[in-house]
Structure 1
């Protein structure tokens, strides 16, 4: 199958983050096994979802993992000019469809190159590692990476996460954590604002603390110029509370996300915020004993990636991608999770992140071809006697 025909098949699976991905993962499994390669599924506890990994080549240390996710974001509420789950070629050099860029294009490049990988006399192996639920918090990658480490007798060295980067090597990724904070106050007439505890007013104190914490990090020169912005960011994206202008709100909540540069620690910042929450509880319970603040994890923390410019993986990706410029990103990806399992990791894949998650998502045919070319060059590197 050609890379375009494989991408067409992958796009036709409308598997959203959080939903069962068994339809697409079983198609991929059957495709790989039709070429004589054994696969291993890593299911969730309920058996409704599964990641997949496999090895092509000899069982020796030092191989390369090619990592991607099978889920996509929703299309509801977006104005598409094409059917989002039908790969569409309008004749403008672009292939339209949900996931065409993020990141089924990379998966298609991997699968299209599989026959060539099998035929090559590889001295080091190539591994596929395809996950589920990346789009709702990078949930499956830690277990997938651990399973690769324990399932094979040999140990892979590198991990290339094929997020769309226009084939540029990405060596840094911010850590990410999303929480929802709930405030329980006391309802009453608005004229009694000093006799009651407004959940909205208290939520305002908490939001202001978070903004000031971000400003303190900047003032303390906790900066990393590789990123834009070059500091950890704290953002409040959704606030709820209240029923009327003249009613003191007894309930309020807000979602916030924390994106940290490698030198900042997610858990430390959250612990500081928790301590401030306890201070507010102690003060306000003198007025209303039922006052409470709860912080609920929206999804688990995603660790940062901090690959050094002189790490071996960077030199390899420069060779096979044809790009020497290094970059960093602030979005969530599975690269940091693979790095935490001991793999020398970086991000590099076809397509532009600017096209991801939007209506009329597309990948250019040129980028798809460059992705296949990268696979071919990787095969050449791993077939070389002196590859290390």
Structure 2
């Protein structure tokens, strides 16, 4: 099968983040097995989802992991011109469908290059590592990484995460942390606003705290001009509460998105927020003893990526792509998790992030072929010279 045929198969599996991916992962497993490689599945606790990894080549230190995810974002509410889960070729050099660029295009490139990997006498191994639930918080990657580390006696050295970057190397990403917050106050007549505790008013003060924290981080000189914006950000994306203007709200909810540059510590910011909320609880329980601010982590912190330009992975990816330029991104990916685990990590994959998560998502045929060519270059780099 060529890369377009494989992509057509992958697009037909409408696996959204949070849903079972067993159908697509078993298809990938079967495809790999047909080429003489035995993959390992890493299931979740309920056996409704699974990641996959395998090694092609010798049991020798210094190999390269090619990492991608099998899930995609929803299409509901988007105005698609075509069936999003059927690969469509309009004859304009583009292939349309959900996940074409983010990031089943990269998976297809890896699988299309698999026959060449198996037929090449490799001096260092190449690994495939495909996860689930990346789109809802990079949830599966930590377990997948631990399983890779415990399965193989040798140690892989590099990790290339194939998020769409137009095959331009990405050496840095911000961390991501999303919090769901519930404020429990006391209901009452609006004229008693000073005798009760309004959940809406307190929620608004949490918004102001987030805004001030971001301002303080900037003022402290925590700036990294490689990113846009060049600082850590705290953002409230959702807020709701109350039932009428003349009723003090007893409940309000809000969601906070925290994205930090590598120089800032996401965990410390989280702890500062917890401390602030505890202080508010202590202050207002003199008015309403049951006042409470509940904080739920939507998902664990996804760590930042901060690969030094002098590391070997940067030189390697320059050889593979022919690009001497590098960039950074403000979105999060599994790259930070691989880096945190000790792998020299970089983001580099076919397609444009501008097309991700939107209606009529596409990848160009040219980018798809370049993605295969990059992996073929890795094969050539990893093989034993004649």
TM-score under structure 2 normalisation? 0.99
Residue matched to 1:66: 66
Residue matched to 2:144: 144
Query: Distance between the aligned counterparts of 2:139 and 2:274, measured in 1?
Result: 24
Query: Distance between the aligned counterparts of 2:384 and 2:323, measured in 1?
Result: 21
Aligned positions of 1:35-46 closer than 5 A:
35-46=35-46
- Quote the offset at 1:267 in angstroms: 1.1
Query: Distance between the aligned counterparts of 1:121 and 1:265, measured in 2?
Result: 44
- Quote the offset at 1:384 in angstroms: 4.6
Residue matched to 2:372: 372
Residue matched to 2:3: 3
C-alpha deviations, 1:140-191, integer Å up to 9, x for none? Answer: 0011111111101111100000000000000001111000111111111111
- Quote the offset at 1:225 in angstroms: 1.1
1:292 equivalent to 2:292? Answer: yes
Query: Distance between the aligned counterparts of 2:274 and 2:206, measured in 1?
Result: 10
Query: Distance between the aligned counterparts of 1:281 and 1:118, measured in 2?
Result: 61
Query: Distance between the aligned counterparts of 1:91 and 1:170, measured in 2?
Result: 31
Unaligned 5+ runs, structure 1 = none
Residue matched to 2:133: 133
Residue matched to 2:210: 210
Query: Distance between the aligned counterparts of 1:275 and 1:53, measured in 2?
Result: 41
SS in 1 for 2:133: coil
Residue matched to 1:88: 88
Query: Distance between the aligned counterparts of 1:277 and 1:226, measured in 2?
Result: 33
Aligned positions of 1:270-309 closer than 5 A:
270-309=270-309
- Quote the offset at 1:213 in angstroms: 0.3
Unaligned 5+ runs, structure 2 = none
Residue matched to 1:232: 232
Residue matched to 2:178: 178
Query: Distance between the aligned counterparts of 1:378 and 1:267, measured in 2?
Result: 36
Number of residues of Structure 1 aligned to a counterpart in Structure 2: 386
Aligned positions of 1:87-106 closer than 5 A:
87-106=87-106
Query: Distance between the aligned counterparts of 2:336 and 2:300, measured in 1?
Result: 13
C-alpha deviations, 1:75-109, integer Å up to 9, x for none? Answer: 01101000000000001110000000000000000
- Quote the offset at 1:385 in angstroms: 4.8
SS in 2 for 1:113: helix
Query: Distance between the aligned counterparts of 1:155 and 1:32, measured in 2?
Result: 22
- Quote the offset at 1:114 in angstroms: 0.5
SS in 1 for 2:368: helix
Decide which moves more: 335-344 or 105-114: 335-344
Query: Distance between the aligned counterparts of 1:65 and 1:275, measured in 2?
Result: 40
The root-mean-square deviation of aligned C-alpha atoms, in Å, is: 0.9
Residue matched to 1:25: 25
SS in 2 for 1:363: strand
C-alpha deviations, 1:185-207, integer Å up to 9, x for none? Answer: 11111111111111000111111
Query: Distance between the aligned counterparts of 1:339 and 1:172, measured in 2?
Result: 11
TM-score under structure 1 normalisation? 0.98
Query: Distance between the aligned counterparts of 2:51 and 2:273, measured in 1?
Result: 35
Residue matched to 2:154: 154
Residue matched to 2:246: 246
